[in-house]
């Protein structure tokens, strides 16, 4: 076996959803040739929305090249969607990376960088419709593959996405071995997606976000979409 490492750059940012990052990192890091690198805008510790903090290994200023890029999501994804420096870094990585991937609303960050134009893509169910503003086709599936773009749905789908990559690279036997190793055999209560959840539960989730917050979110995404259209001549 070659000694060359398969370098995976996980891009994280303040306010991200922790499991968007740690779920696939746990799975992908078990590949025998994997080198997991935590990338952020600066070397400052990054605090997720649940207050857990992570220390980056590298920054987007470093001249590192990765075989795979994975962008976490979270409500604060809107801060990243208008950050030119980060979007330019993602565009540079996309020129050579074997896989360009995301979990949850991380796909909106990829979309804002122009990396999902004309492609099918997934996202968290409450945000997925915004993908159309960046020329992507929203798909309500747990893991969506379009070429070398792989976008996982909300939060826990990042674990499924990780196993999809393992199976593609190393085969089903390895994927199932790792699957058993971490005893990943979810059997949750029904209703984990809006299509199967009780209407009153969906309403409770939607009502948890105030109209003011939804309006602010739409405003920021609209600015990112305008910048995307300006750059891409849409």
Q: Tell me: the pLDDT tens digits for 108-162?
A: 999 999 999 999 999 999 999 999 999 999 999 999 999 999 999 988 999 999 9
Task: Identify the sign of the CA torsion 93, 66, 58, 38.
Answer: positive
| The predicted structure's pLDDT at residue 233 | 66
Residue of 87 and 203 predicted with greater confidence? 87
Q: Percent of the chain having pLDDT more than 90? A: 76
Residues 6 or more apart whose Cβ sits within 8 Å of residue 193: 125, 140
Tokens 């078990």 sit at which residue? Answer: 30
pLDDT-derived band of residue 210, with 50, 70 and 90 as boundaries? confident
CA-CA-CA-CA dihedral for 64, 69, 70, 71, to nearest 10 = 70
Choose among 159, 117, 157, 115: nearest CA to 140.
157
Q: Using the predicted structure, report yes or no on whether residue 211 has a pLDDT greater than 90.
A: no
Per-residue pLDDT band at 2 (split at 50, 70, 90): low
| Mean pLDDT to the nearest integer, 4-18 | 97
pLDDT of residue 200: 87
Please state, rounded to an integer, the average pLDDT across all residues of the chain. Answer: 92
The lowest-confidence range among 20-24, 126-130, 216-220, 230-234 is: 230-234
Q: Is 104 a catalytic residue?
A: yes
- What integer is the mean pLDDT of 160-170? 95
- Give residue limits of the domains in the chain: 6-232
Q: How confident is the model at residue 187, as a pLDDT? A: 74
Whole-angstrom distance, CA of residue 22 vs CA of residue 54: 10
How would CATH label the architecture of 6-232?
A: 3-Layer(aba) Sandwich (3.40)
Among residues of the chain, what percentage have pLDDT more than 70?
Answer: 97
The span from the CA of 80 to the CA of 167, in Å, is 31
């Amino acid at each position: 076996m070659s000694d060359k490492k398969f370098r995976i750059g996980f891009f994280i940012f303040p306010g991200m959803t922790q499991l968007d990052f740690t779920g696939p990192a746990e799975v992908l890091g078990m590949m025998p040739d994997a080198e997991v690198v935590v990338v952020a805008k600066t070397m400052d510790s990054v605090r997720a929305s649940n207050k857990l903090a992570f220390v980056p290994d590298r920054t987007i200023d470093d001249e590192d090249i990765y075989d795979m890029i994975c962008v976490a999501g979270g409500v604060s994804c809107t801060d990243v969607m208008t950050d030119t420096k980060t979007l330019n870094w993602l565009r540079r990585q996309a020129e050579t990376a074997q896989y360009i991937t995301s979990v949850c609303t991380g796909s909106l960050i990829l979309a804002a960088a122009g990396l999902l134009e004309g492609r099918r893509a997934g996202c968290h169910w409450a945000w997925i419709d915004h993908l159309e503003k960046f020329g992507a086709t929203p798909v309500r599936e747990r893991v969506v593959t379009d070429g070398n773009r792989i976008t996982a749905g909300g939060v826990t789908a990042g674990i499924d996405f990780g196993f999809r990559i393992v199976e593609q690279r190393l085969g089903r036997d390895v994927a199932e071995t790792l699957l058993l190793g971490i005893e990943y055999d979810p059997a949750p209560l029904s209703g984990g997606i809006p299509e199967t959840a009780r209407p009153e539960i969906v309403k409770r989730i939607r009502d948890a976000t105030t109209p003011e917050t939804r309006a602010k979110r739409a405003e920021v995404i609209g600015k990112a979409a305008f910048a995307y259209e300006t750059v891409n001549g849409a």
